[in-house]
Structures are given as structure tokens and as C-alpha cells.
Amino acid sequence: MTVGTLQTAVGLRGELREGEPLAQHTTWRVGGPARRFYRPADTEDLAAFLRGLDPAEPLLWLGLGSNLLVPDAGFAGTVIQTQGCLSRMQRQGANGIFAESGVSCAKLARFAARQGLVGAEFLAGIPGTMGGALAMNAGAWGGETWAHVARVRTIDRQGRVRARVPADYAVGYREVKGKAGEWFLDLVLELRQGDGEAAMARIRELLDQRARTQPTGVPSCGSVFRNPPGDHAARLIESVGLKGFRIGGAQVSERHANFIINTGDARADDIGRLIEHVMLAVEQRTGVRLVPEVRRIDGGIK
């Protein structure tokens, strides 16, 4: 339950809420309240907020919540929301685009095309922020976020900002390992000059393709599991007869078996139990252990 905007510490310009329902900030539309929820005014304000936090306070960074399973009990710590807050974007140099971490992937893809820069079209259908795309190495149709990253800036709990380059990270399929205790503030993507109109047409084509093959208009988190090497999680799930299988309000999509949808009244617990059920059934019947792509958050409010 939202109990309103609280008085923030002296000098802070962002918005601090208590008990913010996280179901309103996740694309699965599930998840209990965050003990505290901060929307920074800008980078400097975020740094000041972080410096003032108790070092033991659990922190969760939230973009558009399109890859997060937050428990029904909520999050017993502070959530930092970037979407709608850290949202500056501009052209940088001949081939670069600077974007803060709260810029949506869709906005960046379109901005790049309008600037006559190509290579970012794959981002158009990913319903997250650039911060989330960096954290996940989001990708689609053969494109991957980190293939285009020139540099990033990070921030730590002391509010210290650092410039980093791709070589500072171990980047894999939907996986990025960097220095612990640092989060993404902004990035510069390096693209190629090309035909912006053709890039816009490609964006429309990719969005149409998505609409034809994936469930749209129902709460989901996209693909729940990573594709195992040389195979597809959706094929494996379908092969064990789980398409359409439900637990409570959570259902394996009839349209795309690697999607779990909230049919209306799902709880995070239904989704969590369905994920485990799918993993167990696929492993018992095919020997393949599926690895979830979605991030499951623990830390229920005590």
C-alpha cells in the first residue's frame, strides 16, 4: 500500500515512497510492497541518496520490471527506480548515442534510426530499460546489447561514479558479470551510419514478427528460461506436454511455451511454483536442466 510521499533527507530532490506496491512496476503485475522506493531526480541526487543509506540496507535496482519476479511478501529494503527518472539521451559523436539507464530500449532504437544510425533495431521490441538491458545483456534476432557498448558509467553505494569499458565485464548469453556493488548509470552505444528509414522499417518488421509469435497484451516476463545450447526452451517445455498448464493464475502460454502468463489473478507464488514445476518436469523427462532467465528476488518484508 502506498502511504504517500515521505519527507526526504535534507537536500534530496527525488521522491521517496513507503510501502510502494511492486506489482505496479513489474510486467507480470505481481509482487508485494517495497519498504522504501526511491525515484531520483538525477545522477547527483541519486549519489546523495545512496551516500545517506544505511550500508546494511538491501538494495534493488528496477528498470521496467520486465524480467523480475518479486515475491508476494515484497522487498524488505530500498528499490531504486530508474525508469522515468534517469532518462536523458543524446547523440554523441559521429556514431554514438549516450543514454541514461532509465531510457527505454524502444525509445533508444527509434532515436537511433531517426539519427541515421543502424544496429540497434533489435532493441525495439524489448520492453525494458537500457539499465536492465546492460544487466541482462538483452538481445533478440541475433543482436545483443553489449555488442554495441562503447562504455558505461556505474555508481556504487557510496555514490562514487566510475567510467568502465566492456573489457571490465564478463559478458555472456543473458549474463553479465562485473564488479560487485556497482550499478549502471548510463552508457554510450557505438552504432553504424546507415539508412535510417530502412532501420525504421526493420523495427516495424521485427515488432510484427513478435506480435505473430508471442503472447501480447497479457502480463508476462518474456522468455522465462534461457535456451539451452543447441536447443529451445519452448520446444522442450512443449515436448513434455506443458503448454497451457496452470498453477493458480499462472499459465504456460498456449502461444509460446517459454512464456508464463498471468491470467488475471496470479500471485508471485503461483508463478514461482510453475517455474519449478516446469524445470522438474523437463529435467525428469529430457535430462535437460533449464536455467531461468528471469531474476527472482528474495527478501520478503519481515
Ligand X SMILES: Cc1cc2nc3c(=O)[nH]c(=O)nc-3n(C[C@H](O)[C@H](O)[C@H](O)COP(=O)(O)OP(=O)(O)OC[C@H]3O[C@@H](n4cnc5c(N)ncnc54)[C@H](O)[C@@H]3O)c2cc1C
Q: Among candidates 162, 130, 108, 117, which has minimal Cα distance to 63? A: 130
Handedness of CA 169, 170, 174, 175 (dihedral sign): negative
Confirm whether 239 is a catalytic residue: no
Q: Does 139 bind ligand X (CB under 6 A)?
A: yes
Confirm whether 18 is a catalytic residue: no
Question: One symbol per residue from 268 to 297: x for binding ligand X (CB under 6 A), - otherwise; what is it?
Answer: ---------------------------x--
Q: Are 223 and 293 in contact (CB under 8 A)?
A: yes
Query: Distance between CA 185 and CA 166 in Å, rounded?
Result: 15
Among 22, 136, 274, 279, the residue binding ligand X under the rule CB under 6 A is 136
Q: Does 184 bind ligand X (CB under 6 A)?
A: yes
**Sites for ligand X among residues 14-43 (CB under 6 A):** 27
Confirm whether 20 is a catalytic residue: no
Among 133, 237, 271, 282, the residue binding ligand X under the rule CB under 6 A is 133
Half-sphere exposure of 197 (CA within 13 A, CB side): 0
**Sites for ligand X among residues 47-66 (CB under 6 A):** 60-66
Report how many residues bind ligand X under the rule CB under 6 A. 30
Among 169, 183, 225, 245, the residue binding ligand X under the rule CB under 6 A is 183
Q: Among candidates 35, 33, 100, 27, which has minimal Cα distance to 260? A: 27
185-202 core/surface letters (b: 16 or more CB in 10 A; e: else): bbbbbbbeeeebeebbeb
Q: Among candidates 26, 19, 38, 35, which has minimal Cα distance to 267? A: 26
Stretch that binds ligand X, among 36-44, 46-54, 131-139, 190-198 (CB under 6 A): 131-139
Question: One symbol per residue from 60 to 99: x for binding ligand X (CB under 6 A), - otherwise; what is it?
Answer: xxxxxxxxx-------------x-----------------
CB of 182 to ligand X, least distance (A): 8
Q: Are 243 and 237 in contact (CB under 8 A)?
A: yes
Which residues are near ligand X by CB under 6 A?
27, 60-68, 82, 101, 126-129, 131-133, 135-136, 138-140, 183-184, 220-222, 295
Which residues are catalytic, by number?
174, 223, 293
